[in-house]
Amino acid sequence: MTQIAFAGVGVDFGATKLFSDVSFTVAPGQRWGFVGRNGSGKTTLFRLLTGELEPTRGSIARAPGLRVSLLEQHRDYGAATTVWEAAAGELAELLALEQSLVKQAADLAHDASPRALAQYGEDLERFEREGGYAVTARIDAVLHGLEFDPAQARVTPLSALSGGELGRLGLARQ
């Protein structure tokens, strides 16, 4: 079964033809790499693979349920300062909700108004629905799988990582 098929794919940016008539298939278990000079279209090919970009011509078919992601060469870890915070990525919002729930619970001891109770209930329901109780374990498991010590990752600044380690960390956010 073919995982990905490009048929006569071409991409133009305005009057500039980046490439044309690209055709290939990727079967399960195959590994492919794109090698070329800067500006030759490697990132554009990956954006086509992920579906982020549509070709100017030709067609691209992907197997149902196939997930393709691009590990950006230049990564943005937002406001993260530690390896663990950077690995959290989009889960950081859920971690912030957890901290908010802790504060709300403490505040309820002094203000158990219907409004405060309703807000706490809504936030707690969202936290549970989105898997909040398992979020820390999920981040730790991803870090462990990428050969980072989760406990050490909590205190290791991003600035202490090598380029290769930053690349591995980028996989945590995929």
| CB-neighbour burial class of residue 108 (10 A; exposed 0-12, middle 13-18, buried 19+) | middle
**How many whole angstroms separate alpha carbon 100 and alpha carbon 82?**
21
Q: What is the pLDDT tens value at each position of the chain, 174 positions in all?
A: 889 999 999 999 888 888 899 999 999 888 887 888 877 888 888 889 888 899 999 999 999 988 887 666 667 788 889 999 999 988 989 999 999 999 999 999 988 999 999 999 999 999 999 999 999 999 999 999 999 999 999 999 999 988 888 888 888 876
- The one-character DSSP state at 82 is B
Helix (H, G, I), strand (E, B) or coil at 30: coil
pLDDT score of 29:
84
What are the strands, taking DSSP E only, across 54-172? 57-62
Query: Domain extents for the chain?
Result: 4-62, 83-172
Residue 49, number of CB atoms within 10 A of its CB = 20
User: Token digits for 101?
Assistant: 């729930």
Helix axes 92-108, 135-145, angle to 10 degrees: 150
Q: How far is CA 57 from the centre of its chain?
A: 28
From residue 169, how far is each of 42, 62, 147 by CA, in Å?
Answer: 22, 27, 10
pLDDT score of 35:
81
pLDDT score of 117:
94
Residue with tokens 């044309």: 20
